[in-house]
Amino acid sequence: MKELSILRASYSPYFKPSFKKLEQQELSKFGQFQFDGKSSPDILITNTETNLLELKDKKILENTKLIIHPNSGYDNFLNGFIENIDIPVIIGNTIRQEAVVNYCISCLFDHTQKIPWQTSWESRRYWDRPQLSSKKALIIGHGHVGEMLEKRLHLFLEKTYIHDPKKDLYALHQKAEVDYIFICAELNESTHHLIDQHFLNELKPDATIINPARGKIIQLQDLISHLEQYPKSFAYLDVFPHEPYELESLGALKNLKASCHVAGVFDKIDDEIINFESRVISDFSELNINEFLEKYRNLHLQHKLGIK
C-alpha cells in the first residue's frame, strides 16, 4: 500500500481533548499525518471551520487527490468552490444520521407523550395526550436523515409526506394538513428562509416545527411572531442563523424549546469520526478511483449536488 500524506486542516471546538492524539495515532498507519502542514497533501480532512478558499489560494490543494469532510453540513464548500475543483469530496452524513433522527423522535415525544409521573396515587387516571396514529408529518429533505426518519415515523404516525425536489418529491402543498414539520434539508438557495411568514401562515395553528438541520432555513423572526400569535403552535430549534446564538433574545416564549447544535452529538462521536476517516482512506488506497467513487456514491458531494 502506497504511503499517503494526510493533512487535518482544522479542528472543531466540540472535540474532546484526546481527539487530536487519537486521530493522529489511527491515521498515521496510512503514512504521514500532519495538522500544521504547509505543503499539499494527498488527502485533506476538513470541517465546517475550514476556509477552503484560503487553502486553495495557498496552493494547499495543488496535489490533493481526496477531501474527507466528516460532517453532514458543507456550507463552506459552496459559493462556486465545489464546482471549480477536480477533487472528490466525501462527506460524513452517516456519522450523525441516527443521532439526529433520535433527536427528532425525542422532540416528538417530548411534545406529545409526557408521562404523568406521580409520587402519590392519582385516582383520576387522566392523561391528556394525543394519539400519534391520527397525526401527520411533513419531512423536508430526504437524504440520510430524512430517509431514516421516515422509516421511524411510519411506526407512529398516520401519514408522512416527503418534500425533496432532488428526488422529484414535492409535498409542500400538504403543509396545511400536517401536525409536525421536520426539517432535514441542506442549506442552499432553494431552502434559505423556506420557512417564512407566508409558509407559516398556511400551517395549522397548533403545528409543531422541529429543526436540527440549518438555522437559516427558518426566518427566525417570522417564526417568533408566529409562535406569539398562535400559542398552541410549537417549535424545537437546535440550530440558528448564526452561532453561538443569544438564546436570551428569544424571550419567554413558552412554545419554543432550544438546544445548542447538539442534535448530532453522542458519547462516541469522536471515535465514529476517526473510524469513518480511516475506512474512507483505506478504501481510497485499495480501490481504483472508479470503484471508490461507486462505493461512496451517496457520500460523494459532487454527485450529491449534481455536479458529477
The grid coordinates of residue 127 equal: 392523561
Q: Tell me: pLDDT of 116 over 70.
A: yes
pLDDT the model gives residue 83: 85
Residue appearing with cell numbers 472535540: 15
Instruction: Locate CATH 3.40.50.720 in the chain.
Output: 4-94+266-304, 97-113+128-258
What is the torsional sign of CA 49, 53, 54, 59? positive
- Look up the CATH number of domain 4-94+266-304: 3.40.50.720
Q: 93 near 144, Cβ under 8 Å?
A: yes
pLDDT digits (tens, 9 = 90+) for 73-103: 888 888 778 888 999 999 999 999 999 999 9
pLDDT the model gives residue 308: 66
Confidence class for position 1, pLDDT limits 50, 70, 90 = low
Q: Tell me: pLDDT of 162 over 70.
A: yes
**What average pLDDT does the segment 39-46 reach?**
95
| Least confident piece of the model among 39-53, 71-85, 195-209, 254-268 | 71-85
**What average pLDDT does the segment 14-31 reach?**
94
The predicted model scores a pTM of 0.93
The grid coordinates of residue 214 equal: 440549518
Report which DSSP code applies to 218. B
Residue appearing with cell numbers 416527503: 162
pLDDT digits (tens, 9 = 90+) for 181-233: 999 999 988 999 999 999 999 999 999 999 999 999 999 999 999 999 999 99
Alpha-carbon separation of residue 165 from 24, 92, 101, 175 (angstroms) = 40, 22, 21, 15
| Least confident piece of the model among 187-191, 261-265, 282-286 | 187-191
Q: Distance between CA 19 and CA 192 in Å, rounded?
A: 33
Q: Distance between CA 139 and CA 148 in Å, rounded?
A: 11
Average pLDDT, the chain: 94
Architecture of domain 97-113+128-258: 3-Layer(aba) Sandwich (3.40)
Q: Distance between CA 302 and CA 299 in Å, rounded?
A: 9
Q: Tell me: pLDDT of 168 over 70.
A: yes
The grid coordinates of residue 49 equal: 471551520
pLDDT the model gives residue 191: 95
